[in-house]
Structure 1
């Protein structure tokens, strides 16, 4: 598991190459403001090889955040991270490894009949109660998430995972009420609190797509304050003392800035955006789709680009995402060492200050 001393040593070995605040606090340690994501790509050996090379390059270059999910590329993304960590000269405890559970994963390749696969491998075996399965592909019940956590530990070949997310819980809203989803999350949080106390995970959180960045009347909306309250209740029930709920993940980029602009989360002092609520609550924020899965590599609004540092559109897009208030690390999919080199170079520039960032939205 990542430790404070090891991540500080990693920072000390690399920080002279970067602008200010490239390394940011995560617990008692430090993590890079750029993280390597592993969502994109076919489930093939060739893509595996590209990811392994990219991960090794990233770790050597000053990026110590690796993000994945058990369903990414049919479990291959987790497995390639495990191989890369084993092959790397960088100590395991200098690296934050995050993964997710929620979507039912295939194993190695896409089956010819996905529905039959899910039924035979998960429903018929009792791993998933049919009533807990939404859209035939998503489950966040405690027993299922615990099974997925165990599989992720094997895939990653790790004794412990630093950050474990419940993956896109808003998917459950397709067939359940918000209160039912909050109840299910709390039950699962109890199990994750227990696994944190046992040392199998460092912390846990929620990775979302829509939930925290849409208005309250949106069908996919979930209240971040309520999720935090449920995590605190789970910690109390589990008897673990303070909660191990540490982080959220959500999309944020120039074209999808809702997490900063939409005040959807009620607090005693008024409604706040997801980013501001997280910052005030002491939660770490990891942004996904930080370059809009490559779309911003091709085009960035001229008035925005003029305010951002970087030699390329990709670098400027990365610097927008990691300049937002409360952001710990911005995730970018990287399966090519050349892309790693370009993206890491973005962090040689200082992020925007608060006033300069606000000016982008004027």
Structure 2
């Protein structure tokens, strides 16, 4: 097998004595409630290439994380390649099996190459336009493309970078970037062509499930030019893939400062307004949340003591980073919450939250009144 399985992901969880509260089953797979992300801002900066995620990925898996998330454009493919290096070491040492891990990537942004090409426009011309993966009009802001041919090519690049045979989840990355240009009706037709290709990629064994990863598409107000209604996407998936379609996940930001997916009625299902998390529950779509630490912007001042007490009344957690991760991990309706870290000691410290139970729903909801 080249994909995560129910039995193997369950066996992975059982390696950790606290597994019953830190793992959750969804779509017949067992997920760790925290996942490791590999995004780093401003990839043009040279300092983004003097570090690597190899040791961080290994530490995360050794500490109980089995969900690894990346994207083809993160650090122009370097993040994917470093995940591949870490996995190779762990597989060869027989510390973990491929079937125990849930590996996700995303396509939509043009990944370019590392080292960064001297002329990125020429690179796009030679690699995307001349090869007929897309036309110039398909590319938004010289960086985003979502033709089916480009996305399949991008997925193959991700598999090559990580040296794996298939992805457990493949996300269409920030499609709302092209919504304003296309308009909603044409946007949905584009999504239909993409979902058709994704279903074929499932049949080919390249991916197990597919999804949509957005920054604000699902949480914008309905009159926004970047608003996406999740129910429309599910209907498209049913149209192209039938009742057994493989559109099963979304990825969206959520953290202690950005809580709209839990609190704001930005979606509607069967004509009834609801929050995004309510919509995903009704539509049977799993939620993996991103930006759990808001790229460390949550910590410019200390958290309210009342919030800390509600999250951790026994005062076991040592810092606000752990509290922030415990907050997202405890949120009802979220399968797993991503955080990015490359320092093994930080990852090990963050995973201390797995040793305590999630905050009960009654206490969790009280935080929104503090």
TM-score by length of 1: 0.93
Match of 2:29 in 1: 29
| 1:120-157 superposed Cα distances (whole Å, 9 cap, x missing partner) | 32123322211211112111111111111111111111
Give the aligned partner of residue 266 of structure 1: 268
2:128 to 115, 122, 132: 122
Q: 2:8 maps to what in 1?
A: 6
2:207 pairs, out of 201, 204, 226, with 201
SS in 2 for 1:172: helix
The aligned counterpart of 2:349 is 342
Name 2:285's counterpart in structure 1.
Answer: 283
Q: Is the 8 A contact 2:311 2:363 kept in 1?
A: no
Tell me which residue corresponds to 2:237: 231
- Residue 40 in 1 paired to residue 37 in 2? no
Note the residue ranges of structure 1 that are not aligned, 5 or more in a row: none
Gap change, CA 1:121 and 1:311, over 3 Å in 2? same
Shift in alpha-carbon separation, 1:45–1:169, aligned structure 2, 3 A: closer
Separation (CA, whole Å) in 2 of partners of 1:353 and 1:143: 46
> Within 2, Cα distance between the matches of 1:234 and 1:187?
9
Q: Tell me what 2:360 maps to.
A: 353
> Which sections of structure 2, spanning at least 5 residues, go unmatched?
none
Cα distance in 2 for residues equivalent to 1:210 and 1:137? 18
Aligned to 1:132: 138
Does the 8 A contact of 2:303 with 2:320 survive in 1?
Answer: no
Find the aligned partners of 2:145 and 2:236 in 1 and give their Cα distance.
18
Shift of 1:45: 5.2
What secondary structure sits across from 1:190 in the alignment?
helix
- Partners of 2:354 and 2:139 in 1: how far apart? 41
Q: Secondary structure at the match of 1:213?
A: coil
SS of aligned partner of 1:104:
coil
Q: Deviations over 1:82-119 (max 9, x none)?
A: 11111112111100000000000111233333333323
Q: Distance in 1 between matches of 2:49 and 2:121?
A: 25
- Counterpart-to-counterpart distance in 1, 2:295 and 2:165: 31
CA drift of 1:269 comes to: 6.4
Q: CA deviation at 1:218?
A: 1.7
Counterpart for residue 170 of structure 1: 176
- The CA distance in 2 between the partners of 1:286 and 1:264, in whole Å, is 18
Q: Structure 1 residue 191: deviation in Å?
A: 0.8
Per-residue Cα deviation, 1:302-346 (whole angstroms, up to 9, x for no partner): 043332223210111011112222101100001110111121112
**Distance across 2 between alignment mates of 1:351 and 1:3:** 25
Contact 1:186–1:234 (CA under 8 A) maintained in structure 2: yes
Classify 1:281/1:300 alpha carbon distance in 2 versus 1 (closer, same or farther; 3 Å).
farther
Matches within 5 A, 1:83-98: 83-88=85-90, 89-98=95-104
1:36 CA drift (Å): 0.4
1:301-320 matches, within 5 Å, as: 301-302=303-304, 303-309=306-312, 310-320=317-327
Q: TM-score, normalised by structure 2?
A: 0.91
Report deviation, 1:182: 1.2
Q: Contact 1:162–1:203 (CA<8 Å) still a contact in 2?
A: yes
Specify the alignment match of 2:253 in structure 1. Answer: 251
Find the aligned partners of 1:282 and 1:357 in 2 and give their Cα distance.
23
Query: What CA distance in whole angstroms lies between the structure 2 residues aligned with 1:214 and 1:323?
Result: 24
Indicate the SS of the match to 1:98.
strand
Task: Provide Cα deviations, 1:43-71, integer angstroms capped at 9, x if missing partner.
Answer: 755322xx100111111110111000000
Give, in whole Å, the separation in 2 of the partners of 1:93 and 1:295: 35
1:184 to 182, 187, 190: 190
2:231–2:283: 8 Å Cα contact kept in structure 1?
Answer: no
SS at match of 1:21: helix
The CA RMSD over aligned residues, in Å, is: 1.7
Relative distance call for 1:268 and 1:291 in structure 2 (3 A) is same
Alignment partner of 2:115: what SS? coil
| CA deviations over 1:170-217 (Å, ceiling 9, x no partner) | 001131101111111111111111111222111000000000112111
**Does the CA contact (< 8 Å) of 1:118 and 1:137 recur in 2?**
no
Residue equivalent to 1:160: 166
The alignment covers a number of residue pairs equal to 354
Rounded to whole Å, the distance in 2 between the matches of 1:116 and 1:263 is 44
